[in-house]
Amino acid sequence: MFSLFSENIRIALRSIRTHLLRTVLTILIIAFGLMALVGILTAIDCIKDSIHTSFTSMGANSFKIRNREENIHIGSSGKRPKRYRPISYAEAEEFIERFDFPATVSISSFASFNSTCKYKSKKTNPNIEILGGDENYLFTNGYDLDEGRNFSVQEIQSGSHVVIIGNEVRDDLFGNQSRVLNEIITIGNGKYRVIGILKSKGSSMGFGGDKLCILSNHNVQQFFPRPNRTYTINVTVKSPQQLNPATDEATGIFRLVRRVPLGEENNFEVIRSDNLAMILIENLRYVTFGTIVIGFITLLGAALGLTNIMLVSVAERTREIGTRKALGATQKNILRQFLLETIVICQIGGIIGILLGIAAGNLMALLLGSNFIIPWLWISGGIVLCFAVGIIAGIYPALQASQLPPVEALRYE
């Protein structure tokens, strides 16, 4: 049995070499169809990996309480996000006093989205975010210090003129200067002493970023006055398993803080760090489905082309079929030979397409700075798909070849 199988493989490869041009063209049709399918699906996996990485850096076990919904629009659909009355600092503090879940809590607010920072003769572009925070803000928002230290409790309570700056602010103002800590920079109309520099978070998927300065909440209240200022409460639990019970407890406590009557909906929003990631990944399902449909259509076209080529091959090799039958080959032997030949062509095209697809898809990983993806699911799926295409494309020509009468085949031409 094995010797017969290997003999059929050798005949298939010899036939491929004999009709090299049309075989190569067929292989390329299959390869490019599968490359598009595997490439796009690999790119989607790279995007998903980048989304997970981005939101993990924002704090995988965290959630926020704020006065507005996420502003997310996918395509033309979507609704205007709800806005509720601002969350006051007193409400945020009362929540911290009542919330006794084993978690780390911080209070923060935005002071400005478009400030300019200055140091001697250098200044940044007017695109620096100024945030107010407390001693727990860095931890609850997934920031790490590259140099320096965090705020002390005394600095938070007194509203001291100290600042923690982002990596890009450091580069813009200080360049290659080695001594940055304790230098005085100007933010708005005030002068602040640099006590810390954040590690770079980059701007993957448009989030994070290093163009920011963090001040204490009390300093922001004094020197960056805004009408109807609202605060955000950031909560980080110790493990993902605690996220659901912590979210439920926080929601119940903040309803009491905001005096929400029983039976009415919340007048605030609880946003988990993985909410947006889940929404984006959920919408990528439609892209994946569309890609698979397009890939199937492309491979169906390749299968029809391959069927036509195999029918031509049967017609050209009629005398060969007659000779093999005269020497004792059965219908089953001829059927296997031509079917195996079609499958071999498909598998060669499939392997080339898979390799090209992985390379093309991981260009997206390179652009996004995410991990190199080897899509084992799509690789195995591609191989199975090519096998199926080979059977579909080869079964009719193989049946035609196997059913040729030996005498008529020998008299051909």
The DSSP secondary structure of 18-43, one letter per residue, reads HTHHHHHHHHHHHHHHHHHHHHHHHH
Assign 374 to helix, strand or coil. Answer: coil
DSSP 404: S
pLDDT at position 407: 57
Does the pLDDT of residue 163 top 90, yes or no? yes
Does the pLDDT of residue 24 top 90, yes or no? no
* CB-CB neighbours of 318 under 10 Å: 17
pLDDT at position 258: 94
pLDDT at position 205: 42
User: How many CA atoms lie less than 13 Å away from 304 in the CB half-sphere?
Assistant: 5
Does the pLDDT of residue 140 top 50, yes or no? yes
Q: What share of the chain has pLDDT > 70, as a percent?
A: 83
CA dihedral 43, 44, 48, 54 (to 10 degrees): 50
What is the average pLDDT score of the chain? 81
Which of 53-62, 237-246, 268-277 has the lowest average pLDDT?
53-62
pLDDT-based confidence at residue 183 (cuts at 50, 70, 90): very high
- Between 279 and 176, the more confident residue is 176
- Between 293 and 74, the more confident residue is 293
Q: What angle do CA 90, 95, 101 make, to 5 degrees?
A: 160
Which of 1-10, 180-189, 246-255 has the lowest average pLDDT?
1-10
Does the pLDDT of residue 295 top 70, yes or no? yes
- Between 143 and 71, the more confident residue is 143
pLDDT at position 412: 52
Counts of helices then strands in the chain (DSSP H, E):
13, 12
Query: Rounded distance, CA 15 to CA 397, Å?
Result: 15
Does the pLDDT of residue 198 top 80, yes or no? yes
Q: Tell me the whole-structure pTM to 2 decimals.
A: 0.59
User: Helix 20-57 and helix 275-316: axis angle, to 10°?
Assistant: 170
Query: E strand or H helix at 128, and its extent?
Result: strand 128-133
Q: How many residues does the structure list for the chain?
A: 413
**pLDDT tens-digit series, residues 199-252:** 987 654 444 468 899 999 999 999 998 888 999 999 999 887 888 899 999 999
The token pair that represents 215 in the structure block: 């001040």
- Between 71 and 43, the more confident residue is 43
Average confidence (pLDDT) over 399-410:
66
Query: Rounded distance, CA 36 to CA 273, Å?
Result: 33
User: How many CA atoms lie less than 13 Å away from 35 in the CB half-sphere?
Assistant: 14
pLDDT at position 71: 57
Average confidence (pLDDT) over 277-301:
74
DSSP 258: T
